[in-house]
């Protein structure tokens, strides 16, 4: 039996207004080399100045991940030569990081340890264009935190959940949008496979840009290493890339050790001192985190756990839900409208993350209250919500007096009795064990009532009468 051991090194771009050591704008998607200055491109004599908000965001992330905070830490130089690193060194943190000794708790209660979180600058971006290599320094100096986990992930499923929870916690704190497709969250995955309790030789898969690819790359690498060991071979310690098209890993370079980087203290920056008072002040800015929100939705709103997980998965969706459900009893109905109608309207993950709607939470609340009062059935409400999402109009602007007239219990009873009387074969089919036959009777009631009856109540009443 071969055992997987994995740890993550996750780079998260911080959502500050400016870069870590200069006043250049920090943003994604601009024309190449339009957001850089002498500091970004390492011109002689250009000196760095540390962005205070970077430190505050890193501490906030650390506290959200249950870390301890070093009151005194330092910036260091990590020396290596590569075209995207114009100074030939990266300003990072080595032996005294800002945050240490934290954890992420998985759904089964297992805690994945966080060894450390440190701040550093990002490098530029290399663009391979036929035979030429172009360099865009817009990303140089973008502030990063590197979150280093303990090597106690023991399955691909644990790795997937860890990455998802890490991403979600960072989004809730507001320190980063963690859009992996834009590179604002990138995971380096360390993997070793062994037949005993001792760790095997590890490989590192660099710059994973989606959780789906993390899963595929890990599954392939575990299989590859296992086959090498079964055949009597030895796994080589190296840095790997992942080819999405073939679903395979490939060698990039042999693995460097810390000594290769010749770390030493950054002489152009002072030590970082953060007081206990400042730490507590930052702690108070942390909002309700997703695992606590999930428990509250299940306990207070009576929402099914799987539905609650979907609401909590997207911070903007959760915020919209809470505003729409404020002050009404049928919060579960609000959740159903969001997860059913609105999620069907927003086709992609990106659209769900952005959750940029033409309607307000108040508009959805008004629609739900119309169904609670009996003026509007759920089926008609869903159709109305679809129109609201397209037009941005409120429910009452789209509904006429007939729509809002409601359908009383006596009328519903009368139509259900009629449905049974004129559809004897369908009734017989239902009595004979064909459960789906009841929906034909419900359809009759809905047609006769011109859609004003409540389909759920009609089904219940039909079954009761039969």
CA distance 195 to 178: 36
**The total number of structural domains that make up the chain:** 3
Residues 195, 258, single domain; the answer is: yes
Residues 180, 295, single domain; the answer is: no
The pTM for the full model equals: 0.85
Q: Which of 11, 430, 400 shows the shortest CA–CA distance to 182?
A: 11
Question: Containing domain of residue 416, as a range?
Answer: 409-465
Return the axis-axis angle of helices 437-448 and 424-431, rounded to nearest 10°.
Answer: 140
Residues 138, 79, single domain; the answer is: yes
pLDDT tens, 203-250?
A: 999 999 999 999 999 999 999 999 999 999 999 999 999 999 999 999
pLDDT tens, 149-200?
A: 999 999 999 999 999 999 999 999 999 999 998 899 999 999 999 988 888 9
- Which of 359, 382, 405 terminates a domain? The answer is 405
Sign of CA dihedral 222, 228, 233, 239: negative
| SS3 assignment, position 107 | coil
Residues 39, 72, single domain; the answer is: yes
Residue 449 CB: number of other CB atoms within 10 A?
Answer: 17
Residues 214, 330, single domain; the answer is: no
CA distance 43 to 95: 27
Residues 312, 274, single domain; the answer is: no
Residues 273, 330, single domain; the answer is: no
Q: Which of 73, 80, 82 shows the shortest CA–CA distance to 54?
A: 73
- Which of 375, 405, 435 terminates a domain? The answer is 405
The answer to whether residues 314 and 355 touch, using CB atoms and an 8 Å cutoff, is: yes
CA distance 432 to 389: 43
pLDDT tens, 42-62?
A: 999 999 999 999 999 999 999
pLDDT at 251 over 70: yes
- Which of 240, 259, 283 terminates a domain? The answer is 283
What pLDDT does 399 receive?
Answer: 86
What's the CATH code of the domain at 456?
1.10.10.410
Residues 271, 253, single domain; the answer is: yes
Residues 264, 355, single domain; the answer is: no
pLDDT at 29 over 80: yes
Residues 385, 452, single domain; the answer is: no
Residue 68 CB: number of other CB atoms within 10 A?
Answer: 11
Residues 336, 444, single domain; the answer is: no
**Average pLDDT, integer, range 93-119:** 97
pLDDT at 351 over 70: yes
339 DSSP assignment: I
pLDDT at 291 over 90: yes
Between 453 and 307, name the one with better pLDDT: 307
Residues 236, 367, single domain; the answer is: no
């Amino acid at each position: 039996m071969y055992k997987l051991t994995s740890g993550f090194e996750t780079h998260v771009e911080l959502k500050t207004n400016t870069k870590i050591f200069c006043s250049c704008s920090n943003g994604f998607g601009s024309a190449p080399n339009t957001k850089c200055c002498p500091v970004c491109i390492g011109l002689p004599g250009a000196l760095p100045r540390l962005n205070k908000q970077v430190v505050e965001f890193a501490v906030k992330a650390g506290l959200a991940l249950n870390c301890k905070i070093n009151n005194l830490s330092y910036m260091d130089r990590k020396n290596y030569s590569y075209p995207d690193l114009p100074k030939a060194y990266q300003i990072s943190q080595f032996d005294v990081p800002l945050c240490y000794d934290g954890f992420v708790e998985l759904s089964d209660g297992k805690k994945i340890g966080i060894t450390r979180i440190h701040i550093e600058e990002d490098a530029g971006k290399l663009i391979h264009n036929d035979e030429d290599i172009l360099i865009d320094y817009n990303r140089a100096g973008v502030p990063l935190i590197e979150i280093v986990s303990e090597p106690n992930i023991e399955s691909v499923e644990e790795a997937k959940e860890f990455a998802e929870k890490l991403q979600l916690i960072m989004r809730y704190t507001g320190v980063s949008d963690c859009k992996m497709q834009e590179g604002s969250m990138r995971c380096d995955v360390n993997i070793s496979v062994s037949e005993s309790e001792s760790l095997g030789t590890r490989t590192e898969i660099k710059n994973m840009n989606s959780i789906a690819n993390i899963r595929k790359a890990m599954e392939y690498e575990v299989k590859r290493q296992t086959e090498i060991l079964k055949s009597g071979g030895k796994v080589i310690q190296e840095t790997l890339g992942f080819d999405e098209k073939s679903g395979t890993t490939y060698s990039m370079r042999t693995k460097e050790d810390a000594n290769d980087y010749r770390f030493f203290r950054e002489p152009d920056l002072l030590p970082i001192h953060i007081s206990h008072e400042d730490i507590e002040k930052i702690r108070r800015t942390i909002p309700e985190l997703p695992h606590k929100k999930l428990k509250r939705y299940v306990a207070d709103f009576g929402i099914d756990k799987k539905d609650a997980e979907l609401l909590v998965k997207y911070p903007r969706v959760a915020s919209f839900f809470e505003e729409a459900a404020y002050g009404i009893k049928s919060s579960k109905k609000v959740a159903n409208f969001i997860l059913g109608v609105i999620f069907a309207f927003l086709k992609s993950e990106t659209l769900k993350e952005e959750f940029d709607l033409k309607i307000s939470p108040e508009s959805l609340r008004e629609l739900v209250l119309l169904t609670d009062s009996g003026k509007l059935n759920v089926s008609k409400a869903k159709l109305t919500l679809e129109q609201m999402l397209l037009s941005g109009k409120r429910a009452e602007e789209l509904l006429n007096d007939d729509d809002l007239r409601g359908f009383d219990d006596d009328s519903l009873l009368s139509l259900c009795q009629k449905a049974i009387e004129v559809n004897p074969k369908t009734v017989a089919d239902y009595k004979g064990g064909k459960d789906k036959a009841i929906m034909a009777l419900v359809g009759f009631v809905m047609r006769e009532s011109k859609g004003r009856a409540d389909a759920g109540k009609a089904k219940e009443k039909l079954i009761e009468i039969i």
